[in-house]
Structure 1
């Protein structure tokens, strides 16, 4: 019975879900950074709903990724829950629907804007899982939009800041486009050109965060976290560029996903929320611990 439940949990990529939680916290932090009074007051229930919403939305998205990829995984990754027979495909689809419903329902309690963003995330996830991920250009963009919308979901907690902050949701689009481009070689190995392109995209992301976050707030803690983020994403990527081996590319993808926590922590630190920065950074060891039990990719 334990093995069966572990297979269902694996479908939702729990280590990745933790990074999604950091997304919405970062989104809310960005909003306060751009609010005139820098207010950070909101009922605890709203935070719980926000976290619950992103858990459902992200979990549903990755579950349907495996549902749609069942035949391909049977050839390339037969150890995954569905092709291995541990989880029937129909049951996996029902789990995905339940998680999506949880996400939209929780977001609905936060307001109309949050609910609409949640529905947009569901639609974008399904678009990516079913069709876009098989397209070289559209795939990375669609996956990035899923993350960008998740950041926007966090911003919606302080909706009055959205007119000034919504465009910053494009930064995760660039970042995830980089990670997704790297991941194309994680099964059979890759070529240097897409890895080098991802390195450039990483640099763009770091520059944008520095300009719109750290320079706006001028808080040193944000600089420190940004440096940690840069080291975490570039060290495995540079090794993957040297070897182009599938194992090294897979490791680069893994840390690219986990480093989202540090990227999000930069925004929280830039907003001057030191205590919450510690909370976000504490999600990293939790995500690492979960990644040792459940696959990230």
Structure 2
């Protein structure tokens, strides 16, 4: 391997242009020490240098992407769209898309800020996340959270004054949750559930009225509330080290699991209400079956493991259940529109 790159990297001007990372620069200089052979450039050596930069850049980009939890953002955007479908107005899709984008950006800002506040706990509970793994610095996460929040609020105010005010309230609530309310007993779980539920009226308002957005909103509130309790059970190890006052730590894992089971039983009962009220038809009832099966499996796992959870599998599985529930509501709205 020719060592002309080491010479270029030691040169103040060329080195700064070719390699802005001091750590990468040192690695290359060690591998290719300066000697007389630098005058014979190697295209392969230049290609390897570019590969180093490419890997580093892709690592940073993936860390930025994962920090905002894109699946959560996608679910939030879909929630806004589903809320718009529950109205009796003709959808104004440009406004709905703006509302969905602003909600997804604010959701990403909240997730990034929450990870920033939880970096020490995540070193134990989720060590592969971008911040505890070291792929992203806290200052970069702070800037990302701020920019996403500003962009989301700007789009919301562009849409309407009411959307802008709702966006500001949600951003404030997410910040309060991450800073202090997360340590409170159950109130943090209720706040997260409320923020998840408000996406549906937010989307319906973009379409013209509130409509039947209360159906997906109440479904989302109960689903998120139960899932937050399950996630607290999963995070007992890290939360105990940090000294947080979560439900499983104050009441015990078993009592927390009983409360989660009660919330999900309420959810199952509520999901039948639109069917028996004559709003949604038989296809909606069929679409509910996978949701109920998944909830039943999660509750069975909580009982079988005695609420001792060593990973976040159930929390991730419940995220799939939330998506299936939204699909069922879309089916119900389609039946309502046709009927």
Do they superpose with TM above 0.5? yes
| Distance change (3 Å), C-alpha of 1:144 and 1:192 | same
Of 236, 239, 242, which aligns to 2:298?
236
Report the alpha carbon displacement of residue 12 of structure 1 after superposing the two structures with TM: 0.8
Is 2:42 aligned against 1:11?
A: no
| Distance change (3 Å), C-alpha of 1:25 and 1:273 | farther
On the 8 A contact 1:82/1:88 being kept in 2, the answer is yes
RMSD: 2.5
Deviation track 1:22-75 (CA, whole Å, cap 9, x = no partner) reads: 211222223x2xxxxx33x23332232122112101111110111111233345
On the 8 A contact 1:145/1:170 being kept in 2, the answer is no
Query: Map of 1:68-147 to 2, 5 A cutoff?
Result: 68-147=117-196
On the 8 A contact 1:237/1:252 being kept in 2, the answer is no
Of 322, 325, 331, which aligns to 1:260?
322
Separation in 1, partners of 2:268, 2:233 = 24
Separation in 2, partners of 1:106, 1:47 = 11
Alignment match, 2:268: 206
Alignment match, 1:23: 79
Alignment match, 1:42: 91
| Distance change (3 Å), C-alpha of 1:115 and 1:273 | farther
- 5+ long unaligned stretches in structure 2: 1-56, 238-247
Comparing 250-259 and 51-60, the one that deviates more: 250-259
Q: Secondary structure at the match of 2:303?
A: helix
Q: Secondary structure at the match of 1:161?
A: coil
Alignment match, 2:222: 174
Q: Which has the larger radius of gyration?
A: 2
Alignment match, 1:246: 309
- 5+ long unaligned stretches in structure 1: 33-37, 276-297
Separation in 2, partners of 1:61, 1:208 = 29
Deviation beyond 4 Å, 4+ runs, structure 1:
164-168
On the 8 A contact 1:214/1:270 being kept in 2, the answer is no
Higher normalized contact order (CA 8 Å, seq sep 6+, divided by chain length): 1
Separation in 1, partners of 2:142, 2:171 = 14
Q: Secondary structure at the match of 2:209?
A: helix
Report the alpha carbon displacement of residue 223 of structure 1 after superposing the two structures with TM: 0.9
Separation in 2, partners of 1:234, 1:109 = 43
